[in-house]
Amino acid sequence: MNASERYLQNPNALPVMPELAVQLMRTLEREDTTLTEVAALIERDPSLTVKVLRVANSAAVGAQREIANLRDAANLIGMRHLRDLSMAACVSNLFPKDGQFDRARFWRHGVATAGHAKVLAGLCDIDPDTAYIAGLVMRIGRVLMLQVEPEIVARCDDLNDTPDSLIGHELEWLGCSHLEVSAALAKRWNFPKDIVDALTAARDPLAALPFSALGAVLRLSSTLADAGDLQLPEVDTLIAVQTELMARMELTAEDLAEHLLPWDILTQGVDQLLS
């Protein structure tokens, strides 16, 4: 048994991906998906609909008038954004609330990672919607790790005071990183193989064979989210920490400065998703 498998041994502790999220993800595979179809899917879950409308009415999506229903939301913010919000709402409720970790901070990081991944994917000729979902679940394995070894995971958190340092601390103290656990969980959820492979490759993108451009985007996006969480200048931090990986992906400081959204914008609406 490899080091990551011990976190998936208790079937009762493993979350089940909601069927609605699975159906939303399947719409990524079809070019003929419509706004009406996506809105109709979301409307099947009244509580999810309420959450999505809350976020859609927040400053995060720049709404200029109150959005009364999902079709209005779809017309105003677009199908992709509506689907992203809905996936985030589904995934954020996979694990029960408890006092072992800062839930709001955890999901702010996840939503920021997803938002950065979507932008970087667009710059790197990768499907942005796939990148968003991968970024959203990138750290979800940490919740399973916390359930099994809370004290050691908390120790890694305490040591994680610089951007992109968490993986190294986990490897030292736990023998694996959250990425392997997230990948194993995504595989159980029947996520696309590209996402599962990218989550695994993100542990060390430059060493991964074959090279995974999506894995590289995830590692860059997580570093950006770390910087935002620590209130550090995001672009400068990424350049300092991930120079080699940026060069491999042919990303420049000018690209980042022009296209990336700041932490505060990306994470607006997280409280509505968790309420």
pLDDT tens across 217-247, in order?
999 999 999 999 999 999 999 999 999 999 9
pLDDT (mean) for 166-193: 95
- 102: helix, strand or coil: coil
pLDDT (mean) for 160-165: 95
| Residue 231 in tokens | 């209130």
Sorting pLDDT into bands at 50, 70 and 90, what band is 108? very high
pLDDT (mean) for 38-65: 76
Residues 6+ apart with CB under 8 A from 186: 137, 195, 196, 199
Sorting pLDDT into bands at 50, 70 and 90, what band is 211? very high
| Residue 215 in tokens | 């894995």
Pick 79 or 203 by higher pLDDT. Answer: 203
- Which DSSP letter does residue 262 get? P
Rounded mean pLDDT of the chain? 89
| Residue 275 in tokens | 């309420």
pLDDT (mean) for 114-124: 97
Q: Which domains does the chain have, with CATH numbers?
A: 16-94 (no CATH), 97-266 (1.10.3210.10)
Nearest Cα residue to 202 out of 194, 210, 212: 212
For residue 62, pLDDT over 70 is answered with: no
